[in-house]
Amino acid sequence: MKKELTYAVIGTGALGGYYGGMLARAGKDVRFQVRTGYETVKKEGLFVESCDGDFRLPRIACCQKTSEMEPVDVVLVCLKTTANDLLPEMLKPLLKKDTLVVLVQNGLLFEEELSAALPGTAVAGASAFICSFKVAPGHIRHCDFGHISMALLKNTPAAGGILETVCADLSASGVRAEREPDLAALRWRKLVWNIPYNGMTVVLETSTDKIMRDPATRSLAKDLMLETLLGASACGVSIGEDFVEKMLAYTDTMVPYAPSMKLDYDAKRPMEIKGIYSNPLKAALEKGTDLPKIRTLERLLYFKQNEYLKES
């Protein structure tokens, strides 16, 4: 019989709390790193209020720092990418030969950056299609969707069949999880939604439904999606224009929604501008492709962020 995988979840928030919680509920070996509110979570465990049914895990294996944790087979990194500078150091105590690190994050090029910082480590990326947020330490609210797509970084050290097993474990835990062949394609497809809505909801201090209702911003959302397709194409990822129509229609069906960047902005936290804007712009520009509308939004976002980060 095959050995069960051991998991570490870094960051027990909207994503880590949900996906890690689902795996733990299903009996998988999951250890959580909980930075904020560690004492509470240690004592009270995890509570996931979910549109698919609430559940409570009264006791979970958790530590405040990764240096207190053991090496594992799989690390699910569920931190904001704004903390990625610290990631190599945080990961080191968790790594053994063949550990697979999965970045359950938004944005482009972070897998490449991590792989460069930790040569020899197997790296994958995952895009979560989910509406969820952290209500309080150990208390996650999952409002809508929930599926997750994963892909190995190109030329990553052979991670064997681990990623397949991760997908199987998630599926067995009640999460729709699928493995994709191409990480760049996975990342760019997610950007088609993230680029227009994250930035516009922040710059205009509004929500997705209002953007969709106003003809000016509805057309700009579409333009930004089409520019994202250009960037993807420059990087060798082909996405059809029908995908743009699908994303617009999908957004129309959503409840009025504040994307994660808008939540960060409202809370005056650093925003994921690098992964969602600067890195895609850089990747496209390296292939000679300019994305001027996305660049405009990126510039405006840095101004918005500098306004409050300089204050603090």
Q: Indicate whether 258 belongs to the interface with a second copy (CB under 8 A).
A: no
Calculate the dihedral angle through the C-alpha atoms of 39, 40, 45, 48, rounding to the nearest 10 degrees.
Answer: -140
Instruction: Note whether 263 binds a second copy by CB under 8 A.
Output: no
Catalytic choice (190, 222, 262, 274):
190
Q: Which residues of 35-52 are buried (b: 16+ CB within 10 A; e: fewer)?
A: bebbeebbebbbbbebee
Residue from 219, 250, 252, 256 binding a second copy (CB under 8 A) = 219
Considering only the stretches 5-13, 59-67, 220-228, 232-240, report the one whose residues sit in contact with a second copy under the rule CB under 8 A.
220-228
Q: DSSP string of 3-19?
A: PPPEEEEE--STTIIII
Q: One-letter amino acid identity for 95?
A: L
Stretch that binds a second copy, among 103-111, 149-157, 207-215, 252-260 (CB under 8 A): 207-215
Active site residue 293: no
Q: 180 or 298, CB closer to a second copy?
A: 298
302 binds a second copy, rule: CB under 8 A: yes
Q: With binding defined as CB under 8 A, does residue 35 bind a second copy?
A: no
In the complex with a second copy, which residue's Cβ is closer, 65 or 299? Answer: 299
Number of amino acids touching a second copy (CB under 8 A):
27
Of residues 165, 171, 233, 296, which one binds a second copy by CB under 8 A?
296
Q: How many CB atoms lie within 10 A of CB 66?
A: 21
Q: How far apart are CA 145 and CA 19, in angstroms?
A: 12
Beta-bridge partner residues of 141: 49, 133
The residue (of 112 and 298) whose beta carbon lies closer to a second copy is 298
Pick 9 or 211: Cβ nearer a second copy: 211
CA atoms of 79 and 88, how far apart (whole Å): 13
Give 55's Cβ-side CA count (13 Å radius).
16
Minimum CB separation of residue 195 from a second copy in Å reads 12
* Residue numbers annotated as active site: 190
